[in-house]
Structure formats: C-alpha cells, structure tokens
Amino acid sequence: MSAIDTWVARQRERAAHLPGAALPWLTPRRADAIARFADLGWPTSRLEAWRHTSLAFLEQQALAAPESAAPAATLATLRAAFDDGGHWLVFVDGQFAPTLSAIGTLPAGVTAGALSDALNTAPDAVEAAFGSADDNASPYALNLALCSDGAFVRLARGTALEQPLHLVFIGATGAADSHLRNLIVADANSEASVVEHHVGGGATLGTVVTRVQAAQDARITHVKLQQQDAQAIHVAQIEAEQARGSHFASHSLSFGARLARNDIRTRFNGEGCETLFNGLYHVDGRRHVDHHTLIEHARPLGTSREYYRGLVDGNARGVFAGRIIVAQDAQRTDAVQRCDNLLLSRLAEADARPELEIYADDVKCAHGATVGQIDEDALFYLRARGIDEVHARQLLTYAFAAEVIERIAHDALRKHARTALLARLPGGATLEELL
C-alpha cells in the first residue's frame, strides 16, 4: 500500500466518526476532497507554487505522536501574557476543550464556538461558509476530508466584538496528524479581531484552513502566532472573500515548527475593499518557512498593502512568493507589495519573489524585495556611540523586525508579538530591558 493509499484508508476509517458525518451535503464534499488528494498526492518541487517547499518526504515518513507539555500549563503561560479581557476557545489535539475554554459573555448577535457543535446546531450557516476542495492544493483537500474540529464565528449585521477572540490550538500527545478548519462569517458593518495561536508540539503533521467571509463594510483583523515545537510540520491556508467596502488585515508571525507553509489569499468582490498582509518569520537551525500570498483585485477602487520580513539564521531557509492580480475592471487600484530578508549567518538562505499581474490601465502599483545582511555602516554608527558589536547587532536585528510588529494595531497583541520575537532572538532578554 502506498503512502497516498494509507491516507485514503485513514479517511475511510474516520469518516463515520467525523463531525457532521450525517449531513447530506458534507459527505460528498469530503469524498471529493479525498479523491482530489489521492489524484494530486503530496506537492513536490515540480509544482511551481511548491518549488521551494516540497512535501514529497511525507511519502516515506511514518508519523508518530510526539511528547509535549501538559495543555493546561501551556494555556496558563499563554493567557498570562495577555491582559485584554478577551474570549478564549481552546482546542487540544484537534478537538474542542470546553473545560479549558473561557468564552465569557458575547455581545448579542455574536456566535463563537466549536465547528463540531455548529454542524449540529447551525448546519445551513456552516454549509454556506465551509468551502470545497476545488482548485486548492492537495494538503488543503486533505484538510477538508479529515478536519475534526475548529472554530465557527458568526458576527451579525452591525455587531462589534470589542475584545479579541483567541483561538488556541495546543498540541499534546493525542495524534500523529491533526486537521482543523476555522470559519469566520462577518455580516455587514460588523467588526472583530481574531487571534489564532498554534503552540506546543502535538501532531507531527498539522493542516489548518481558516476561511473569512467579510460582507459589506465589515472589518476583520486576523493575527496568527505560530510557535510550535521543533518537530512539527505546519501547513496552513487563510482565505478571505471581501464584499464592497470591507477591510481585512492579516498578520502572520511564524516563529516555530521545523517546516511551516502559509498560503494567504483574499479576493475583492466589491468596490472599495482594503486589505493589509503583514508578516514576520524567524527561522534558525535547519528550519524552513514559506509564505505564499495572493491578492485578487477583481473590482475597482481597491487598496492593498503587503509587507513581509524574514530573519534567517543557521542553515535555515525562508521563502516568500507574493502575487497581486489586478483584473481589467479593477480600475484605480492602489497596491504595494514588499518583502525584505535579513540573513544572520553565511549559510542562511532566503528566496523572495514578488509579482504583479496587471490588466487594468488606471492603477498605482509597486513591488520590491531585498535579501541582505546587517548594514555595516549602521553597525559602525552604533559602535561609535559606545555599544559593543554583539549588542549593536542585536539592536539592528530587532529594529529590522519591529516595523512589522508595530503595524499590529491592538496594544496587547502587539506587546505579545514583541515578547514572542524577543524570546527567539539571541540576547532577547537584554533587549527587552532596553526597550
């Protein structure tokens, strides 16, 4: 039996026990998804979109459930870092953990809970937002076929969630693979900030799909903090659909896992949409991180800003491939795309490929990328003012990354992101005292 056949057999074994197994619309979607995965197999370097991040090694690798810290202790550490009065939905090894969650009192018109529960209580609403495997890469087809849980968030028209909603996914010792699916449905003029945490060890392979539907004039901020242990393989997709006048901000901070792949995309389905893609990744050792982004300006008067920065150390590799498509009807589009990488060792490697694909003639678009080392002139400037070389390098490294973190508007989220970055940088404790 091939490795692909093993996954197909695994889906058949689990199918009857997955949430929503009795729903007539979900069973065929799962069947189509596993068929698509079986047809495509794991992405290899022969595919342009996966040229730098082949998953072919999963054909030979046997997955095993690793050891990890106790979920309660992991959650306590995380919650201690926040003082924002937020709402907390916690999942352990791909399953909702109600005893660890603290949802609190939600405003009228706001629903936040486990996807597994929503499939029973609001199947029609879930069906409209669930998505399909069409045109998605094979790992995300596998996610649809095997997803065991996730979050379902619904914001009624005109509602606002003033405090952040935290979606916490903790890896423990329950399974070798984990597949999560989050659905965020924001009706017209609604607003919320959602923080997606991935911490601990847990599954060797984890796939995550987060789908956002932003109706007219809705405002959704999504912050993702990926801080998994060194053995994890994290493959994730964030996909948004934006109606007229909506605003979607995506902040992706990747600080963990031995291999992390993040596909982030949005489509402007109405005039006057705005989006911000903001990302920071730090990789060291032999770790690998890949961000692939797509912004589709399908309607006029859209504005997009995309900024990614990478800190690459050791023998690690950081990859960024961003694509902005401006359709023929998307006149008066304003788009900026940029990726900058700082190499912290001689063996570190960074690949940056920004792309613009423009079919309209009344647009303002720009893109660029840099890969380099610490500026020697800036280093000399700091040393001339009495700062030793080690601390000068630490300050310049932090300053390079801090610009991304400062774009996070929420104070508590920005503070935690800064702390998470400093925990990864050499000399971070000293830097924290100075800042």
- Is residue 323 within 8 A of residue 352, CB to CB? The reply is no
Of the listed ranges 220-229, 266-275, 388-397, 423-432, the least confidently predicted one is: 423-432
Mean pLDDT across the chain: 92
Which three-class secondary structure state does DSSP give residue 120? helix
Q: CA 281, 51, 339, 252: dihedral to nearest 10 degrees?
A: -40
> Is the pLDDT confidence value at 83 over 80?
no
Instruction: Give CA–CA dist 137/115, Å, rounded.
Output: 22
Distance CA 126, CA 183 (A): 8
Residue partners of 167: CB distance under 8 A and separation at least 6: 89, 91, 151, 182, 194, 195, 196, 197
Average pLDDT over residues 343-359: 96
Residue 26, CA atoms < 13 Å, CB-side half-sphere: 25
**pLDDT confidence of residue 249:** 98
Q: Does the pLDDT at position 203 exceed 70? A: no
Q: What is the pLDDT of residue 175?
A: 64
Chain segment 305-324, per-residue pLDDT in tens: 999 999 999 999 999 999 99
Q: Could you give the percent of the chain with pLDDT greater than 70? A: 94
Confidence of residue 69 (pLDDT cuts 50, 70, 90): low
Query: Average pLDDT for residues 380-388, to the nearest whole number?
Result: 85
Q: How far is CA 273 from the centre of its chain?
A: 21
For 385-400, what is each residue's pLDDT tens digit? 888 888 888 889 999 9
Question: Residue 419: which pLDDT band, with cuts at 50, 70 and 90?
Answer: confident
pLDDT in tens, 97-150: 999 999 999 999 999 999 999 999 999 999 999 999 888 899 999 999 999 999
What is the DSSP-derived secondary structure letter of residue 103?
A: -
